[in-house]
Amino acid sequence: MSIRPSEKRVDVPANDSDRKDKDFPTDNDGLGAAPIVAAPRVNEPEASEHVDGGLLAWLQVAGCCFLYWNSLGLINAFGAFQTFYETQLLREESASAVSWIGSIQMFLLLATGPIIGPLYDAGHCRLLLYIGAFLVVLGFMMTSLCTAYWQVILAHAICVGLGAGFLTIPAIAIVPPYFKTKRAQAMTTASIGSCLGGTIYPLVFQELQPRIGFPWTVRILGFLSCAMCCFSLAVLRPRHRGQRRVQGVRSLVDRTAFKSAPYCLYSVGVFFSNLAWFVPVFYIQTYALSHGLEGQPVALYLVAIMNAASIPGRILLGILSDRLGPVNTFVFITASTTIVVFSWPAVTTGAGNISFSVFYGFFSGSLVAVAPVVLTSFTKDLKVLGTRVGMVQFLKSIASLTGSPIAGAILGESRNYLGLQLFPGISFTITAAFMVALRSVLAKKEARTKI
């Protein structure tokens, strides 16, 4: 019997309904016919279209690299600003007070995660990118006009910090759906942007500030940031767009995560890692100026050296992560970083300061790069990745807000750096212990799976 077009329209939904028990939600779920058909089409790329390469996939890596450059890269570069603020623009303020600028930046970058994560999962990625780019550039331009501490707090700490926060979740979450077997390599490659930002921004600042002054130096940094954000906006194409517009925006917290022992161990471990991570970045230059590099210009480039050294660390240990598993690699990285930090009190020469910067940059940079890969390795449902990343980001924000000011308070007016140096060493030791526990739990749950 022939089928007229009008009859064909009736048969298609009927055929689809025969499959609803297998693949689709039913009308009892409170969804109409259109969402029933649309939802699986959004989910299909996650299961079957990981390309592990190709122009579009690697363009996402390049675009996210520039997002990292203008988010975490800005925070990594703050050591150069810390030295300038302490010695010139804000020399009447204490080291602890100045470090609050960088700490507030990092706090806002991370604390916005629980809000931005669900917004990203809801399909609002491009809106987040536009807002983040605007705030970062605006923050730079307003910082160029600052002459007082409170003004720097508003412009450099709050405005730039909020903008960086809007860029960070997309930087982490856009790449994973494009890769499967090469996911760690792709994510760590994208994260190199934070090293490049932490290297290039201090170099530009140190070269231009004595020649053209602080205001125009910061404006040039703002123009650079604007150009890179425009490139990211042009090439980034997040997958699974619009999925939550169909199903509704979920809550800011994924409560099921708290029932996961790996997630809890991971969260506590990275909390202590962030408590310690920025202490050497913020204080290495001021320490070197009184311990081995007195009056030598090379001391002002230690932050750039540190960030440059983290580039090969992220690449090599990212490749190692694909081979040995992200958790195994992360245990090795945290243990190595702990050893390096505990060697800091023994550094009293110029060569020692440079060597410490290189080794700390190499291992600590990969610590930041591999940490998100560890989270994705035991997050089976990538549709909740943005929310779970945001939850961890908020916890890390508390550590980042308090870590450097605590170190500055330990330093005090005595300028005895021993307590300041032991503080991050102890914190990294705790991180290493929790990562060993995480590996043990995952090994028991998935004995036959590479972790």
Q: Which of 19-33, 55-69, 184-198, 356-370 has the lowest mean pLDDT?
A: 19-33
Give every CB contact of residue 132 below 8 A, 6+ residues apart in sequence. Answer: 67, 70, 71, 163, 164, 165, 166, 167, 170, 229
Share of the chain above pLDDT 70, in %: 83
DSSP E strands: which ranges in 337-445?
Answer: none
Domains of the chain by start residue, with CATH? 49-445 (1.20.1250.20)
CB-CB neighbours of 246 under 10 Å: 15
Cβ burial, residue 419 (10 Å; 0-12/13-18/19+): middle
Nearest to 139 by CA among 125, 122, 152, 148: 152
Query: Cα(127)–Cα(119) distance, rounded to whole angstroms?
Result: 9
Query: Cα(176)–Cα(191) distance, rounded to whole angstroms?
Result: 12
Angle value at C-alpha 301, between 298 and 303, nearest 5 degrees: 140
Confidence of residue 55 (pLDDT cuts 50, 70, 90): confident
Confidence of residue 40 (pLDDT cuts 50, 70, 90): very low
Nearest to 350 by CA among 295, 288, 308, 415: 288
Angle of helix 160-173 relative to helix 55-69, nearest 10 degrees, comes to 160
pLDDT in tens, 177-219: 888 777 777 888 888 888 888 889 988 998 999 999 999 999 9
Confidence of residue 375 (pLDDT cuts 50, 70, 90): confident
Amino acid (one-letter) located at 208? L
